[in-house]
Structure 1
Amino acid sequence: MLVRLTYASRASHGITSQLIRDILESSQRNNPARGLTGILCCNADTFLQALEGPRTAINSLYNLLAEDTRHKDLTILDYEEIDVRRYANWSMGWAGAKQANRELFLKYSCSDRLDPFSMSAEQIRGLLLELSATVSTISAPIVD
C-alpha cells in the first residue's frame, strides 16, 4: 500500500545551501532502495516535505526525521493512502521558496511567504503540485 505523508518543520539553526545539499544527497542515495519518492520545499527557516512510498517505509523514515536535530516543531500536515505517486520522478526533488514562487504562495495561503503551518492539507497539496513543475535535482545549483 502506498501512502503520502506531508509534514512541516522549523529549522533549528537556519537553512543553508549546504544543508539542502546534504538532505537531497542523502535522500537521493537512500530513498530508491526504500521505494520512496518526494518533494522538499523550504525557505530560510521552514521545511515543507511530501514523501511517498510504502506505509512501513514512510513511517520508519518519519520516526528518523522526528529524531533529527536539524529541525524542530515537526508537524504532520497530511497523511493519506494513494493509488499513484505525484512525485515518482524524484527520489527527492527540491523547490526553493524563491521570489518566483511568491505568487503561488499567495494563491494557496494568506501570505506570499511559505508558511505551511497556516495552510490546509488541500492548499498544501495544490501548492506542492504546482511547485513540482519547477523542481530541481541535486545537480542543479542551489542558491540561498
Structure 2
Amino acid sequence: MSDTPDNALIRLIYVSGVNTTDNSVFEHIQRHSEAYNKDNKIVGFLCNNNDSFLQCLEGTKERVSSLMQRIFRDQHHKDVDVVFSKNISAYTFTDWRMHSINLNDSNWKKFSKHPQLSGISPFKPHQWPYWFVDHFIESVKTIDYASLNKDIITFDKLGHSEVEKALASDNILFYIFLSVLISAAVVILLFRYNVVG
C-alpha cells in the first residue's frame, strides 16, 4: 500500500496470539482502544478468545498504520499477522460501534448458530485462509447484535452514531465552503459577462 495516500480510507485485518493468561487484558484493551479509536475516527470490531485476536479496522491509512505500530509493540499480542489491507471508498461499518466480541468456546456455540455463520469452524483465525477471514468479516457485519447475549458482545460507550456526527460535521463545513465558493464563482461570471449589473 505504499502508493496509497496517508489520508485515504483503508480496511485492515490482522490476527494475533494472546500473550497473557490474565483475562482482564481484554477489558484493558477495550478501554484503551475506545478513546484512541474515537480520537482517530477508526471503526470496526475486535474478536477474541483465550488464544487469538482478530481485528478489523477502518480509517485513514495514516491513523490505522499508527495504531498497527502500537499493536506490534503491545506485549499482550504475539505473532501479529496482517491478513490483508485494502483501499475502501467509504466506511462500511456505517451503523456500528467499535465493539469487542468474546468468542470463547461456550460463546462460539451461541454465536455460530446464526445462519450467516453456519459452516464456520471454531474461532481459530491463525489457521483460516485469507478468503475465509474475509467471509467471516462479511458474515459478522450482517448479524443482528440485538439478539446476542451481553456476555458475547460488549459495545463501547462511543457508538458509531457519534463518529458519524463528527464526520458529518466535517462534511457539512466542507459543503458550506464549497457552496460559497461556487456561488462566488457564479456571481463573478454573471458580472463578467454583463448578465447582471
Summarize deviations over 1:21-62 as a string: whole Å, max 9, x none: 211111111112111111000111100001110001111110
C-alpha distance in structure 1 between counterparts of 2:20 and 2:117, whole Å = 23
Superposed, 1:30-109 pairs within 5 Å as 30-88=36-94, 89-90=96-97, 92-97=98-103, 98=107, 99-103=109-113, 107-108=119-120
Q: How far did residue 7 of structure 1 move?
A: 0.4
Higher relative strand content: 1
| Residues 94-103 or 67-76, more deviating | 94-103
| Partner residue in 2 for 1:5 | 12
Higher radius of gyration, 1 or 2: 2
Distance 1:75 1:105, change over 3 A: farther
C-alpha distance in structure 1 between counterparts of 2:135 and 2:73, whole Å = 28
Q: Any idea what SS the aligned residue of 2:14 has?
A: strand
CA contact (8 A) 2:12 2:56 kept: yes
CA contact (8 A) 1:41 1:47 kept: yes
Q: Any idea what SS the aligned residue of 1:107 has?
A: coil
State the number of aligned residues.
134
Higher relative helix content: 2
Which structure has more relative contact order (CA 8 Å, sep 6+)? It is: 1
| Partner residue in 2 for 1:142 | none
Runs of 5+ unmatched residues, structure 1: 140-144
C-alpha distance in structure 1 between counterparts of 2:29 and 2:54, whole Å = 13
Instruction: Tell me which of 20, 30, 36 is aligned to 2:26.
Output: 20
CA contact (8 A) 2:117 2:139 kept: no
Asked if 1:124 is matched to 2:133, the reply is yes
Identity, in percent, stands at 22
Runs of 5+ unmatched residues, structure 2: 1-7, 146-152, 158-197
